[in-house]
Amino acid sequence: MKKLTYLFFVIILVAFSQQNYSQFKDYGQKFGVRGSILFPENEFANFGFSGNNNTTFDWYKFSWLGEAFFGFELSKALELSINGGYGKYAGKAFFDDANTTFGEYETKIVPLHLRLRISPFDAQGWNPYLYIGAGAVSYTVSSKPTITGSKATEDEGWAALVPVGIGAEFALTDRVLLDFALGGAMTSTYDLDAYRSGSDDIWDSYFNASLGFSFVGENCDVDKDNDGLGKCLEQQIGTDPMNPDTDGDGLSDGDEYLNYKTNPLNKDTDSDGLSDYDEVKTYKTNPLLADTDGEGLNDGDEVLKHKTDPLKADTDNDGLNDNEEVMKYKTNPLKADTDGDGLKDGDEVMKHKTDPLKADTDGDRLNDGDEVTKHKTNPLNKDTDGGTVEDGVEVERGTDPLNAEDDVVKVGVPIILEGITFDVNKSTIKPESEAILMKALKTLQTYPEIEVEIGGHTDSDGSAKSNLKLSQARADAVKAWLVEKGIDAKRITTKGYGEDKPIADNKTKEGKAKNRRIEFTRIK
């Protein structure tokens, strides 16, 4: 039975011997004292009723053991202790199947052993454990029972000792623990009870109930707040060893000090307006650098005020960094084209020198984008061709903002409407003449006070009479087109000049083409 009991203890110990962590760990060293009540286990009945009829009640004879120990950690879950003690192993010498008492035995014992303790659980306020040990016990018999036929025993000597048991610690203060345990110990001697029967001898042993006090220290590696920093290091850097996040920024002191190199006493190490946690976990910015992207705005202002990307110097990819947009040019760092004129802010500032806050820098009624990309006019000069009419007016009326000659229609100065063509020897206007005619129409609409002459001219081919007639017909055809578009016929006169006013040599094909023309002349 006794062997089965010890086997049961060993099985429990092995089953639960796994690493764990609790507030009772990381103490470094420990010393303490414990007192135990012993319940001897040997050939005699040491407690309870004697005899088969239970007529006599024999009280237990008090046995005890006082011990002192010194322990230190092997790991978070294992403790090794050196134990020494002094006690009395005693009892009444009678057998269960007889009422006869043969006196008493009493033996002084001095056990010395190493004990391995396993703390398999993580509990608050208490620390359950298992233990097993090995050592030796010195014994001295001071009182023997008188039993006929008893074999000689050793009155003193040494024997092997194997203690095993379970227990729990309870925290009284930070440094003082109450220790309660139940267990037992087996020895390798038959002589603790001063009796050998010669048959069916069993090793003497005992069960015990123990109560003691432990006094613990803490080594420099103790980490009660589980933040990854030992006690001594936390004291050195000024963090709270009982608070895993001293500055309350969401990062543990260990992560700040060991991994991110931030200040665990300051939730915003770089003073950029973002907590270290936000920088590391949310925005991925550098918690040690106030301006991660190096464009001149601190990360906090970018995130909280301007809504720009603190990891990107030019959030809107317009060619200006966020700081230049916010502080220098006052443009929108989230919008590549602040004034909506079709040009990026960077191109306006760096390339075209236009105002990125003003869609029409020169105030000519054309936005900068249209001037640069469509009309090829100067967005910094409202009258690109210098002809006294603004670019916007010219575009609206259909004149060329790059040609000063068509800006103002002067009295008596003919304007050749190049591009108006007719069928051969006819006054039928060809469709491709539409664009030029529209410019003439636009001029008459823009200047409603003027009156004009439409003059027709031919080359020298054919007779002078037929050419005069043809030129008049062509001038009349142009007038008819303009009148059809809404121009008052009274504002237009026509005249055919035939071949009388050539502007080029009629001897060449090119010259003849130039002489076949329609002229637009202001007469009032």
For residues 159 and 141, membership in a common domain is answered with yes
The pTM score is 0.53
**Closest-CA residue to 118 (of 79, 168, 81, 82):** 79
For residues 107 and 156, membership in a common domain is answered with yes
The per-residue DSSP string of 79-118 comes to EEEEEEEEEEEEEEEE-TT---EEEEEEEEEEEEEEEEEE
For residues 383 and 306, membership in a common domain is answered with no
pLDDT of residue 476: 95
**Closest-CA residue to 409 (of 442, 360, 362, 457):** 442
For residues 29 and 164, membership in a common domain is answered with yes
For residues 372 and 490, membership in a common domain is answered with no
3-state DSSP assignment of residue 10: helix
C-beta of residue 192 within 8 angstroms of C-beta of residue 185 = no
Whether 222 is in a domain gets the answer no
Whether 80 is in a domain gets the answer yes
For residues 202 and 343, membership in a common domain is answered with no
For residues 76 and 165, membership in a common domain is answered with yes
pLDDT mean across residues, the chain: 87
Kindly indicate the confidence band of residue 13, based on its pLDDT and cuts at 50, 70 and 90.
Answer: very low
- Tell me which DSSP letter residue 432 carries: G
3-state secondary structure 442-455: HHHHHCCCCCEEEE
Lowest mean pLDDT among 144-148, 217-221, 308-312, 371-375: 217-221
**Closest-CA residue to 337 (of 305, 361, 369, 362):** 369
Sheet strands side by side (includes 414-416): 414-416, 517-522, 452-457, 492-496
Whether the pLDDT of residue 168 is over 50: the answer is yes
CA distance readout (Å), 440 to 330, 450, 475, 481? 44, 12, 13, 11
Whether the pLDDT of residue 361 is over 90: the answer is yes
Kindly indicate the confidence band of residue 53, based on its pLDDT and cuts at 50, 70 and 90.
Answer: very low
For residues 39 and 107, membership in a common domain is answered with yes
Q: Please give the single-letter amino acid code of residue 198.
A: G
pLDDT of residue 408: 63
Kindly indicate the confidence band of residue 146, based on its pLDDT and cuts at 50, 70 and 90.
Answer: confident
Whether the pLDDT of residue 24 is over 90: the answer is no
Whether 221 is in a domain gets the answer no
- For 103-145, write each residue's pLDDT tens digit: 889 999 999 999 999 998 877 778 999 999 999 999 999 999 8
Q: Which of 162, 188, 216 is the last residue of a domain?
A: 216
Residue 35 backbone phi and psi in degrees, to 5: -115, 140
3-state DSSP assignment of residue 236: helix
**Closest-CA residue to 196 (of 296, 93, 293, 283):** 93
Q: Which of 216, 248, 283 is the last residue of a domain?
A: 216
**Tokens representing residue 418 in the block:** 């190049």
In the chain, the percentage of residues whose pLDDT exceeds 90 is 63
Whether 223 is in a domain gets the answer no
What is the dihedral sign for C-alpha 172, 176, 178, 183?
A: positive
Question: Pairing state of beta strands 126-143 and 101-118?
Answer: antiparallel
DSSP element (H, E) containing 71: strand 64-73
**CATH classification of the domain holding 195:** 2.40.160.20
Whether 225 is in a domain gets the answer no
For residues 375 and 414, membership in a common domain is answered with no
List beta partners, residue 522. 411, 452
**Closest-CA residue to 129 (of 180, 81, 73):** 180
Whether 267 is in a domain gets the answer yes
Whether 505 is in a domain gets the answer yes
CA end-to-end distance (rounded Å), the chain: 139
For residues 235 and 347, membership in a common domain is answered with yes
List beta partners, residue 177. 171, 214
- What's the gap between Cα 463 and its chain centre? 92
3-state secondary structure 451-477: CEEEEEECCCCCCHHHHHHHHHHHHHH
In the chain, the percentage of residues whose pLDDT exceeds 70 is 88
For residues 337 and 394, membership in a common domain is answered with no
**Closest-CA residue to 81 (of 196, 158, 205, 181):** 181
For residues 37 and 141, membership in a common domain is answered with yes
pLDDT of residue 43: 81
Number of domains in the chain: 4
Whether the pLDDT of residue 405 is over 90: the answer is no
Q: Which domain holds residue 447?
A: 409-522
**CATH classification of the domain holding 433:** 3.30.1330.60
C-beta of residue 329 within 8 angstroms of C-beta of residue 320 = yes
Whether the pLDDT of residue 4 is over 60: the answer is no
pLDDT of residue 200: 60
Kindly indicate the confidence band of residue 435, based on its pLDDT and cuts at 50, 70 and 90.
Answer: confident
Kindly indicate the confidence band of residue 151, based on its pLDDT and cuts at 50, 70 and 90.
Answer: confident
Q: Which of 372, 402, 432 is the last residue of a domain?
A: 402
Lowest mean pLDDT among 27-31, 79-83, 284-288, 318-322: 27-31
**Closest-CA residue to 275 (of 292, 253, 259, 299):** 299
**Tokens representing residue 120 in the block:** 């398999």
Residue 279's Cβ-count burial label (10 Å; 0-12, 13-18, 19+) is buried
